[in-house]
């Protein structure tokens, strides 16, 4: 297990965040169809654009911390964000990964319910919460879209719980690869190549396994020719066998 400082870059790293740039050309944005902003028409989009800034983050830098005042919301455009909670014992439970197109940062109260940091270089559209909420309240369909995003996040959370339970390591890892493929599919289209930009420790903290077990299990799947381990990901060789293992 890791101490907070080892998990993500210390505060100084926040200063590594690149400058904020104005949003431009939302209408050309490749991830817009998969995003909350997909429901906005041209006029609404330009109003929306004016509220936000593009924020870019170095690898392993903090976006926000659990318990901090939730005064900005984010829409990830590139990279990968780790969402996690720290237990009193110092262990980290990753409660989700945010991919391009995912929306973050509107908890029930006014404080973030989990921490978020980047696994790799990441960019996101950042909006002040006040303005964002005001905008949502005056655009009904957008508010509905937000509810939809929350319901989708809940659904993903349920998927993950189903994985976290007392299942075999092989089933967890196989199901994880499957789930990641399904999520990338919406963005990159169908492919047997599944990017895994996060490290082994991250996968372990997501599935409730030790780094050693994650590594061993992947190696075993590779040796059985079910997958092929490639840099920063895996290639699925035998999809039906993988699905079968995921089912347990």
Partner DNA sequence: CGCTAGTTTGATCCGGGTCAATGCTGGTGG
Partner DNA sequence: CCACCAGCATTGACCCGGATCAAACTAGCG
CB 82 within 8 A of CB 119: yes
What does DSSP say about strands 233-236 and 227-230: parallel, antiparallel, or unpaired? antiparallel
Q: Which does 88 bind (CB under 5 to 8 A by kind): its own copies, DNA, none?
A: its own copies
State yes or no: residue 106 binds its own copies (CB under 8 A). Answer: yes
Q: Which does 78 bind (CB under 5 to 8 A by kind): DNA, its own copies, none?
A: none
Q: Which does 235 bind (CB under 5 to 8 A by kind): its own copies, DNA, none?
A: none
Is residue 202 exposed (0-12), middle (13-18) or buried (19+ Cβ within 10 Å)?
Answer: buried
**Residue from 146, 173, 177, 234 that binds its own copies (CB under 8 A)?**
146
Helices (H) and strands (E) in the chain, counts: 8, 12
CB of 235 to DNA, least distance (A): 13
Nearer to DNA, 128 or 199 (CB): 199
DSSP designation for 34: G
Binding marks (x or -) toward DNA, 190..209, rule CB under 7 A?
---------xxx------xx
CB of 81 to its own copies, least distance (A): 15
The pair of structure tokens assigned to 237 is: 């060789």
Q: Residues of 36-52 as b/e, b for ≥16 C-beta within 10 angstroms? A: bbebbeeebbeebbebb
State yes or no: residue 224 binds DNA (CB under 7 A). Answer: no
Sheet of 193-195, strand order: 193-195, 233-236, 227-230
Nearer to its own copies, 8 or 160 (CB): 160
State yes or no: residue 161 binds its own copies (CB under 8 A). Answer: yes
Nearer to its own copies, 38 or 93 (CB): 93
State yes or no: residue 179 binds its own copies (CB under 8 A). Answer: no
The rounded distance, in Å, linking the Cα atoms of 201 and 192 is 23
- One-character DSSP codes across 187-225: HH-S-SEEE--S-HHHHHHHHT--HHHHHHHHHHHHHTT
Q: Which does 164 bind (CB under 5 to 8 A by kind): DNA, its own copies, none?
A: its own copies
- Residues lying near its own copies in the complex (CB under 8 A) are found at 85, 87-89, 91, 93, 95, 106-108, 113-114, 137, 140, 143-144, 146-148, 150-155, 157-158, 160-162, 164-167, 205, 208-210, 247-248
- Residues lying near DNA in the complex (CB under 7 A) are found at 1, 166-170, 199-201, 208-216, 218-219, 229, 231
């Amino acid at each position: 297990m890791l101490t907070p400082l080892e998990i993500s870059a210390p505060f100084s790293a926040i200063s590594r965040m690149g400058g904020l740039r104005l949003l431009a050309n939302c209408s050309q944005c490749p991830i817009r169809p998969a995003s909350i902003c997909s429901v906005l028409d041209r006029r609404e989009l330009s109003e929306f654009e004016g509220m936000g800034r593009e924020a870019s983050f170095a690898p392993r830098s903090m976006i926000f911390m659990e318990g901090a005042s939730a005064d900005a919301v984010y829409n990830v455009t590139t990279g990968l964000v780790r969402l996690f909670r720290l237990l009193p014992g110092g262990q980290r439970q990753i409660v989700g990964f945010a991919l391009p197109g995912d929306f973050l940062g509107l908890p029930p109260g006014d404080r973030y319910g989990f921490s978020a940091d980047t696994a790799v270089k990441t960019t996101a559209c950042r909006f002040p919460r006040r303005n964002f909420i005001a905008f949502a309240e005056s655009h009904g369909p957008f508010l509905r879209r937000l509810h939809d995003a929350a319901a989708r996040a809940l659904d993903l959370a349920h998927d993950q719980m189903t994985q976290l339970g007392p299942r075999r390591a092989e089933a967890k890892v196989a199901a994880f690869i499957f789930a990641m493929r399904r999520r990338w599919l919406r963005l990159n289209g169908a492919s047997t190549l599944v990017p895994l930009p996060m490290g082994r420790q991250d996968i372990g903290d997501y599935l409730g396994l030790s780094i050693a077990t994650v590594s061993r299990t992947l190696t075993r799947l590779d040796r059985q020719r079910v997958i092929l381990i490639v840099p920063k990901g895996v290639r699925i060789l035998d999809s039906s066998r993988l699905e079968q293992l995921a089912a347990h």
